[in-house]
Each structure stands twice: as structure tokens, then as C-alpha cells.
Amino acid sequence: MEIIERYIYAVTQRLPEKMRADIKQELHGLILDMLEERESPGQASKENVESVLLELGHPNTLAAKYRGYERYLISPFLFDSYLTILKVVMFSIAIGMTVVFAIDTITSPNEILEHFIDYFANLIIAGAQGFGWVTIVFAMIDYRQQKDTLSSGDKNLKWKPSDLPHIPDVNKQIKMSEPITGIIFTVLFTVICLYSIELVGVWRFDGGDRTVIPFLNADVFQNYLPFVWILAALGILNQSVRIIVRQRTAKLLVFHIVISVVTTVLLCVMLADPAILNPDFIQQLQAAGVMSDIGKDYDTVISIWNGISDWLIIIIVFFALIDIISETYKWYRTKTTV
């Protein structure tokens, strides 16, 4: 009987604690009943016991049946979408890092070995981070779906042909190019912010020398890297859900609006901090010979620079509103299309 107890233990340890006592008792009785069908009570042979346990199946499989669902980090239902987005993210990371490496190599050819080492190391780090974020996002989506399924009681229902989803209306479908493009731009934005924020600025070439006058204060920007990670995760999450759902629905629209609002707020909070801008930007422009310290052009540049944060916030809010209105219109058009 030891092998039976071991089997029951292996099954019940994979179940929620509140289910274990009842399932242990039920499973013990089931095994005894199956043994009685094979031979007289109390005289179970090792061969018959093993035969019964093999018929019941692997403890993992039986535990999944009692739970009502399989345990996956990424379920088979989402795995194809997961692979698609993972490939897009990895490709975007490789492109972004390669572009940065090419720019550094062209502008500083004497340091090509150092650039290559940095490129290779950053590529591995960024790839691991991209893999991790995509996996976390899909694990969250999968967990949410399993939780909704369990709460609705669907786990107790047998599958019926009537459960098959309807063939989606072509007019309601989301083109794959839209979320894929969104993921690519999200990843490129993240790569630049994490690894090459100093390249975002005014470029000046004098012979073979390159001068970049950054718009942002790199030291202060480091404090906002958690914001960058959150923005990247929200962007990938938003586009991942669009790829999974693949058609415009009211719930998807609400989800997109919420993500857009949160993203816009985070960007505005970052830009509202005056310390995030390069405090020596004007002086560096003058030192590089890009502009003089007198004249109408100087006054114009000073005026624009002093209000650059407000203008960027206005532009970000404007484009967020345009995006929300556009998505709302596309959804409304699908409802009115016959």
C-alpha cells in the first residue's frame, strides 16, 4: 500500500490545500474500488496496483483534472502570439542596438573595439531583459484568463461545438502591422533611453569630429529609468492584447484608452521636471559654434528652450488624444458597418 500512498501524496501536493483532504479520501476509495475489480479485497498484488496507477495516469495529469485546468507559464492558447511578439521584440532590440553601434563606429572609428565589446554586452543584456518582460506580460495575461475562467465556472463545463468562436468580421479585425509597428517603436524608444540617451540632441560634425549636445541631463534621467521600464511594459502589454484579441471590441478600446492615459501621464511627469533638461544646453551650443550669443536667432532659441517642456507636454497630450479619437472612431465604424 506504500506505493498507493505515495501516488496519492504526489497528486494532492499539486492541489490547493483546501482541496487536499477531500481529494485524498476520494482518490483512496477510487483506487481500492479499481483494485477490487481486478482481484479479491485485501489481496492486491504489486502488478495490479501498478496497473491501476498507470490507468489513472501521471500525478501531474490527474492533479490537473482535479484542479480543472493545466498549469502553464504561457498556455498553448497564447503560445503562438507569445512567440510572434517575442520575435518582434528581439528583432527590434537587435536593430536598435546595431544602429547605435553603427553610429558610434562611424563617428569614433578609433574606438571600434570598445564599441564592439559594449555592443555585444548590451545586446545580451537587452535581449535578456526583452525576453523577461515579454514573458512576464504574457504570464500576467494568461493568469488573468485562467482566473476569469475559474471564477465563471467554465472549468466545470464540457466542450461543445456550439462553443466554437464565430469567424471574425473582416471589418472588425486589427491588422497585424499596427501592433507590430507599435512594438517596434516601443522597443526602439526603450533601447535609446536605456543605452544611448546622450545621442538625443543636436549633432555637429567638424571634419572627422562629432559633437553631440544632448537635450537631456543624463544623470537626472537615470532617476526616471523605472518610468521607462513601466512605459515599455505598458506598450508591449497593450500591443500584445491587440494581437491576441485581433478584433475591435468595446473592452479592448477601454483597455487601450486606459493604457494611453497612464502612458501620457508618466511622460508628462518626466517632462514636467525642469532638472531633466540639460542645464548647459545653450552654453554648449555657443561653445560648439552652432549659435552666437547675440541677435534675433539667439533670442528665439532662448525663448523656445525655456518653454520646451511645456511644448513637449502639449504635443504628447495632443497626439494621445488623436490616437484615442482615432481608435474610438475605428471601433464605432465597425459597429455601424453592416
Look-up of cell digits 489513472: 56
Determine the average pLDDT of the residues in 279-297: 74
Q: By three-state DSSP, how is residue 166 classified?
A: coil
Q: What is the predicted pLDDT for the residue at 338?
A: 47
Tell me the per-residue pLDDT of 60-108, one tens digit each, with 9 for 90 and over: 778 877 776 666 778 777 888 888 889 988 998 898 888 888 877 776 7
DSSP character at residue 273? -
- Tell me, letter by letter, the H, E, C secondary structure of 202-253: EEEEECCEEEEEECECHHHHHHHHHHHHHHHHHHHHHHHHHHHHCECCHHHH
The pTM score is 0.68
Using a 10 angstrom Cβ sphere, with 0-12 exposed, 13-18 middle and 19 or more buried, the burial of residue 246 is middle
Question: Minimal CA–CA distance to 167: which of 103, 96, 247?
Answer: 247
Q: What is the predicted pLDDT for the residue at 143?
A: 78
194 has a pLDDT exceeding 70 = yes
pLDDT confidence of 208, banded at 50, 70, 90? low
Q: For residues 265 and 163, is the Cβ–Cβ distance under 8 A?
A: no
Question: Minimal CA–CA distance to 137: which of 171, 102, 183?
Answer: 183
String of DSSP letters for 49-116: HHHHHHHH--HHHHHHHHHTS---SS-HHHHHHHHHHHHHHHHHHHHHHHHHHHHHHHH-GGGHHHHH
Q: For residues 231 and 263, is the Cβ–Cβ distance under 8 A?
A: yes
Q: What are the residue boundaries of the structural domains of the chain, listed by start?
A: 2-67, 76-336
162 has a pLDDT exceeding 60 = no
Q: Report in angstroms the alpha-carbon separations of 332 from 166, 303, 326, 337.
A: 20, 42, 10, 9
- The share of the chain scoring above pLDDT 90, in percent, equals 16
DSSP character at residue 38? T
Report helix, strand and coil shares of the chain as percent, to nearest 5: 75, 5, 20
Q: What is the predicted pLDDT for the residue at 152?
A: 54
pLDDT confidence of 21, banded at 50, 70, 90? confident
